[in-house]
Structure 1
C-alpha cells in the first residue's frame, strides 16, 4: 500500500477567496514535494476539533481570522512571535505535537522592505485585531517608537497598548475619525477587512507624507486605497504581505523553522510570486 500523501490546508470562513493554495503548491512543486494543499471552511468554534482530529497524513495548517486566536488552546507550543502577539496563523503538526507560529510579522516587515521602507519612527495603525497586533510587532522591528492606533471604539485598544509597551512602542488609541486631521507619519497600515469603508476623508498631510500598506488584497482597491491613490499618495496592497508570510510558512512546513531559508529560496519565491 502506498504511503498517504502529505496534506496541508488553509482554514477559515469564508475561505473560497484565499490565494494560499496557489502560493503553497507553486512552492512545493519547485521544491520537488508531492504535497496537497486545500481550502477548508472552518469557523472559530470548530477549529479546535479540526486541528485535534488531524491524522498522521497532515503536516500543517494556515489560519485566517478569527482562527489565529481560537486555535491557541489546542496548541502545545508557540514560537516567540506567536507568544508575543497572542496569535498563530500557522500550525505545524508533528505526530501528536501541535506547534503554533506567527509568520504575519515577518510578512509585513518584508513587504514594507520591498516598498523601500526598512526604518520608520512614527506610524498609524487602523484596526484592532490579530493583524494589528502583528503590525505593531513588525513596526517595532522597523524602529517605530510611537503608533497612533485608530479604532471605531478607542476603549477597545487596551490590549494593543500593553502589547506595544512590551515591544517598546508607545501606542495611543484614538477614534478612526482622526484620519481626517492626522499629521504626517512615516507609514500607515490599515488592517481593516477587505472592502470595509473607514468612512473618513484622509488628511492631505497624511497622504503626502506616508506610505499606506493596506493589508487587504481582495476586493481591491479598498475605499481607503482609492482615496490615497486619488490624492497622489503611495499605496501597496496586502499581496506582498501574503506572499512573504506564505514563504515563511513554507519554511515551517518544510524545515520546521521560519528563520531557516529554503533550498534555492530565491527561485521558490519567484514561482510563488508568479502564482499571484
Structure 2
C-alpha cells in the first residue's frame, strides 16, 4: 500500500462519520495528534447514515486523506472499499478508510485498540474470557481475546441464538465459543480472567453477576459515556478491576493516525509516545 506524499499545509481533510455523531471525541483526539506531529490537517465530525455513506464516499475530492467510521457505518462500508486489511475481514467491520491514489483501503483498528488498552491495564495474557452482549464491538473483542492467547470464550446474550456469527468466527480463530443466556451470569464460575461488556449504551444486563466473576475477572466495558454503567457498578461494588472504553478509544485512534500518516496501523509514528500523551491529555 503506497504512502501518499506529504500534502501541502492546510490541504488535507479527514473526518469521523456516523449517526449520531455530535458526541464524538475523535476530533479532539486526532486534532491533538496532528498538532503534535506538526501537520496542519483538518479533522471534523460529519453526520452520515447508512443511506448516505456511498454518496459521501463518491463525492470526496483529492483533498481527502481518510475517514474514521463509527455506528452505524462499520458494516455498511465493507462493500464500498477496494481492499480490506485482514482484521477488518475477520471482524466483518471496518472503522477506518484511507484514500490512496484513487483507491479506498479499509482497516479495523478497534481490535488493536482493545488489545493495547488491556495491556496498558496490565492484562497481558488470557486463557479464558467472556463477552457480554453481541453488539457491534463483540467480534472485535473476540479477535482481541484470541490475540491475547484466549482459547475459550463464553458469550452471554439475551438471545443465545444470535451468537452464531461469533461461534463461526471463533472456529476460524481457534477459539471455543459457547453461547449462554445472559441470566447465566448469576452463577458463572471458573478461571475467567477477562470480561468484555459490549452492551449498547451501557444497558443494564438485568442480572446480578456472580461474585466469583466480579472478583476474579478484569472487566473492560467498551462504553465511555454514562459511567459507571450498571455492570461496571457491580464490579466496583465488589472491589473488582474495571476499565471503561476511553482507553480503547484512545488506542484505536492512535492506530488510525498511523494509517493516515504512515499508511498502516503497524507503522509507528515519529515521537509516538509524545503523540499518545497529547491525545490522552485531550480527553482530560
Cα RMSD of the aligned pairs, angstroms, is: 1.2
Q: Which runs of 5+ in 1 are unaligned?
A: none
Q: Structure 2 unaligned runs (5+)?
A: 1-7
1:106 aligns with 2:112: yes
* Partner residue in 2 for 1:231: 238
Q: Of residues 244, 251, 254 in structure 2, which corresponds to 1:247?
A: 254
Match of 1:219 among 219, 226, 247: 226
Give runs of aligned pairs for residues 15-94 of structure 1, distance below 5 A: 15-94=21-100
Q: Tell me, what secondary structure is at the counterpart of 2:14?
A: strand
Equivalent-residue separation in structure 1 for 2:158 and 2:167 (angstroms):
16
Paired residue secondary structure (1:67):
coil
For the Cα contact (< 8 Å) 2:9–2:40, is it kept in 1? no
**1:205 is aligned to 2:229:** no
| Contact persistence 1:126–1:192 (CA under 8 A) | yes
Q: State whether structure 2 residue 164 is matched by structure 1 residue 158.
A: yes
1:147-167: CA deviation from partner (whole Å, max 9, x where unpaired): 001111110111111111101
- 3-state SS, counterpart of residue 71 of structure 1: helix
Shift of 1:181: 1.1
Q: Which runs of 4+ in 1 moved over 2 A?
A: 2-5
Per-residue deviation, 1:4: 6.2
| 1:119 paired residue number | 125
Contact 2:33 2:279 in 1 (8 A): yes
Give the CA deviation at 1:268: 0.4
Superposed, 1:134-213 pairs within 5 Å as 134-184=140-190, 185-213=192-220
> Deviation of residue 190 (structure 1)?
0.4
TM-score (norm 2): 0.94
- Give yes or no for contact 1:152–1:175 (8 Å, CA) kept in 2: yes
Deviation of 1:92 after TM superposition, in Å, equals: 0.4
- Which residue is 1:260 aligned to? 267
Structure 1 CA distance for aligned equivalents of residues 59 and 188 of structure 2: 48
Q: Is the 8 A contact 1:85 1:130 kept in 2?
A: no
Q: TM-score, normalised by structure 1?
A: 0.97
Contact 1:4/1:57 (CA < 8 Å) preserved in 2?
no
Report the count of equivalent residues. 275
CA distance in 2, matches of 1:117, 1:4: 40
Partner of 2:17: 11
Match of 2:101 among 70, 88, 95: 95
Task: Answer yes or no: is the 8 Å Cα contact 1:217–1:239 preserved in 2.
Answer: yes
Three-state SS of the structure 2 residue aligned to 1:93 is strand
SS in 1 for 2:74: helix
